[in-house]
């Protein structure tokens, strides 16, 4: 009797182990598949930046801005915001998406800020720092985020760090967001509540907001990200750009070297916090 019970327990344990291994293998395959989309999304945004518009929107960020995990690059929060600006103002929008998948704050300083200085944007959004959480250094983060914010126009819109779900990461996120808000206040920048927008989704957000790699947002997740930005974006563009019913009056000016500059830096960076589904 006892021997039979022991054999049954071993069988159950082996079956459970096999299921875990199968799930791990599937997740690894999903991550590999999405990583293969990094250069595809990067190329799409470089091409899309060539489309002229009345307004110029510049985004600084990481793979969330690139739209990794979405059904199409345009479904990233950057694409959702651009479409919203067009709907609100009646003006066409040119998007210079400077983001790089896997970017940390220090990498944004080194790579994205030099390119950003070439633009005269009508709208700027920044969502950076999630990839700093895995190896979080408060002092390094503080220095980097202040450097980023110092380069922004006064009406730039920045997001706090996303919700990480897991307590051991949320402790670090709380410190990072406190630093970020202090740095933004020093510059008078608007901070939008990305963290709270995700947290309000509750535990179901784990199952509804993420792509199949359980790491990057899916289309719904990117709409949640965009929802954090849209009230501030709407207020800004309505004030600066009264609705235009039809036609284009002016076109945004983009540096001629923009496409070339992006080409060398967007392609191959990988996320630094691959075990954390909320960092991108």
Greatest mean pLDDT among 19-23, 26-30, 54-58, 257-261 lies in: 54-58
One domain, residues 23 and 61? no
For residue 179, is it within any domain?
Answer: yes
Q: What is the pLDDT of residue 11?
A: 52
Q: Which backbone phi and psi does 52 adopt, to 5 degrees?
A: -75, 155
Model confidence at 23: pLDDT above 50: no
- Say if residue 262's pLDDT is above 70: no
Q: Which two tokens stand for residue 78?
A: 């950057």
Task: Mark whether 75 and 149 lie in a shared domain.
Answer: yes
201 or 152: which carries more pLDDT confidence? 152
SS3 276: coil
Inside any domain, residue 279: no
- On average, the pLDDT of the chain sits at 83
pLDDT per residue as tens digits for the range 119-130 = 999 999 999 999
Please give the pLDDT value at position 27: 44
Q: 86-127, pLDDT tens digit by residue?
A: 999 999 999 999 999 999 999 999 999 999 999 999 999 999
Using one digit for the tens of pLDDT, what is the confidence trace for 153-189?
999 999 999 999 889 999 999 999 999 999 999 999 9
Q: Do 116 and 5 fall within a single domain?
A: no
Identify the domain containing residue 198 by its residue range: 37-265
Assess whether 46 and 32 both reside in one domain: no
CA distances from residue 55 to 38, 93, 121 in whole angstroms, order as listed: 27, 5, 8
Please indicate, yes or no, whether residues 68 and 179 belong to a single structural domain of this protein. yes
Q: Tell me whether residue 195 is in a domain.
A: yes
Distances 57 to 80, 113, 253 between C-alpha atoms, Å:
12, 15, 11
Residues 99 and 211 occupy one common structural domain: yes
Q: Which of these ranges, 11-20, 54-63, 93-102, has the smallest mean pLDDT?
A: 11-20
Tell me whether residue 23 is in a domain: yes
Domain check: are 67 and 193 in the same one?
yes
Q: Residue 173 in contact with residue 193, Cβ under 8 Å? A: no
Count of structural domains within the chain = 2
- Ramachandran angles phi, psi of 51, nearest 5°: -75, 115
């Amino acid at each position: 009797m006892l021997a039979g019970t022991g054999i049954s327990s071993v069988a159950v344990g082996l079956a459970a182990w096999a299921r875990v291994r199968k799930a791990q293998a599937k997740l690894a395959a999903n991550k590999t598949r999405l990583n293969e989309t990094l250069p595809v999304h990067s190329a799409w945004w470089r091409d899309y930046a060539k489309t002229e518009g009345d307004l110029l929107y510049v985004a600084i960020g990481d793979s969330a801005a690139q739209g990794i995990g979405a059904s199409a690059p345009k479904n990233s929060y950057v694409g959702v915001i651009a479409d919203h600006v067009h709907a609100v103002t009646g003006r066409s929008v040119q998007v210079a998406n400077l983001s790089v998948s896997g970017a940390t704050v220090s990498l944004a300083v080194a790579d994205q800020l030099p390119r950003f200085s070439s633009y005269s944007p009508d709208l700027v959004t920044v969502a950076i720092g999630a990839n700093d959480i895995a190896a979080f250094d408060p002092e390094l983060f503080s220095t980097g985020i202040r450097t980023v914010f110092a380069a922004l126009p006064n009406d730039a819109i920045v997001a706090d760090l996303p919700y990480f779900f897991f307590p051991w990461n949320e402790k670090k996120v709380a410190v990072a967001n406190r630093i970020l808000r202090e740095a933004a206040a020093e510059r008078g920048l608007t901070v939008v509540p990305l963290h709270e927008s995700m947290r309000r989704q509750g535990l179901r957000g784990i199952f509804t907001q993420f792509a199949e790699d359980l790491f990057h947002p899916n289309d719904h997740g990117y709409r949640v990200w965009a929802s954090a930005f849209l009230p501030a974006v709407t207020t800004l563009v309505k004030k600066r750009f009264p609705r235009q019913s039809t036609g284009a009056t002016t076109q945004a000016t983009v540096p001629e070297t923009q496409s070339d500059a992006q080409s060398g830096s967007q392609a191959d960076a990988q996320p630094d916090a691959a075990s954390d589904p909320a960092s991108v």
